[in-house]
Structure 1
């Protein structure tokens, strides 16, 4: 994903996070049980942290293109959609098939973090440093 695409995804994800979080707190909490609300909270937590991470990657990519950060952001975004999205769907629909998608999203998160680590390790240090 380009920095622009990362920021667009993050804006949409951040908007959805706030809107769905408010909807969950004010509306869904009246009709869903504690287990379903826990799934929604877990999805929201992971969505928030990974959305912020994608914003950080976008900022880093504005300074220096890095193919590892590019793929990291793509896997993190896919993780948000699959992991958090499947938890939301599980809580709202009670279809058990969603439990098979959640670990795929979690795996995407892990791949995204590993790719970010590789990208960070491959960054070259600047020769001129002021300490």
Structure 2
């Protein structure tokens, strides 16, 4: 799932980027939900990450086809969240890049969604003590 989503985020086709970003927000939000009540986790940061993912996802059109990815089984420790933090960072970069050359209104929405990816990544990285 991760490699396919990363490849789609690097696409020059806006529909693929939107679909990949939407899916990334979805799965990263579920990851944040899954770790919220783990012993030793920072619940507030997990909630911030989940809310940011939901807010970013709400700004994007849903994918035209496919099924949501399964909530992944997470490795222990802070490193277990690294792939999802990295994914949100990729979403941020892809949306900022896609915003270039767009109308002012479209650019504002894409930059706002990218901001949610940034906040989500930062919060998710802090959940297990990074």
* TM-score between both structures, scaled by the size of structure 1: 0.50
Structure ranking higher in helix proportion: 1
- Residue 44 (str. 1) matches residue 52 (str. 2): no
- Residue 55 (str. 1) matches residue 57 (str. 2): no
The CA RMSD measured in Å over matched residues stands at: 2.5
How big is each residue's C-alpha offset from its partner over 1:16-49, in whole Å with a ceiling of 9 and x where there is no partner? xxxxxxxxxxxxxxxxxxx7xx211101001112
- Residue 101 (str. 1) matches residue 109 (str. 2): yes
How big is each residue's C-alpha offset from its partner over 1:31-78, in whole Å with a ceiling of 9 and x where there is no partner? xxxx7xx21110100111221111112221244570110011101111
The corresponding residue for 1:120 is: 128
Max radius of gyration: which structure? 1
Structure 2: segments with no counterpart, 5+ residues: 1-11, 65-101
- Residue 77 (str. 1) matches residue 77 (str. 2): no
The corresponding residue for 1:27 is: none
Question: How many Å separate the matches in 2 of 1:81 and 1:74?
Answer: 11
* TM-score between both structures, scaled by the size of structure 2: 0.51
The corresponding residue for 1:26 is: none
- Residue 110 (str. 1) matches residue 118 (str. 2): yes
Question: How many Å separate the matches in 1 of 2:20 and 2:108?
Answer: 20
Question: How many Å separate the matches in 1 of 2:33 and 2:120?
Answer: 14
Structure 1: segments with no counterpart, 5+ residues: 1-34, 89-94, 123-131
Which structure's relative contact order is higher, taking Cα pairs within 8 Å and 6+ residues apart?
2
